[in-house]
Amino acid sequence: MVSLTLELCNAVIKNCGPAVHDALGKHEFLDNIQALTTGSLGFTVRDRALCLIQEWGLTYANSPTLYYAPIYQRLKAKGVKFPLDETVATSNLISIGVSTQPHSKKTKTPDTSPSKAVKFRPSGERVQGAYV
């Protein structure tokens, strides 16, 4: 259950705008994620929490109002070993199109043009080439 919750948090952070980044970039939320890094819930949860802290810390390194980077830097200073090498983690962010530029309050308007629309059947199956 915890692993799924971590994946949901990651998906929300990757797919939502600055308001969500601000809400999840607070001490209360990230301190709870850090608590998962003790290994008390298993190594899979620990490693995933560490990967996410690292990814978020690198992504929002230039965002002084968010707590993502400070928690990552604090754990690194304590000697915590992260599952991914920092250069690999950074290249992963760039390859999926995550900006490593400073956080801004601008919101991006989603592209809702017909060419970007996707339609699904009630069974959940995607209908190729369909327009909504």
CATH number at residue 47: 1.25.40.90
Question: Does some domain include residue 62?
Answer: yes
Question: Does some domain include residue 77?
Answer: yes
Question: How far is it, in rounded angstroms, from Cα 104 to Cα 95?
Answer: 21
Cβ atoms 33, 19 nearer than 8 A: no
Q: What is the pLDDT of residues 4-29, one digit of tens each?
A: 999 999 899 888 888 888 888 888 88
What pLDDT score does 7 carry?
A: 92
Question: Does some domain include residue 54?
Answer: yes
pTM of the predicted model, to two decimals? Answer: 0.65
Question: Does some domain include residue 124?
Answer: no
Domain that holds residue 59: 2-103
Closest CA to 48 of 17, 10, 79: 10
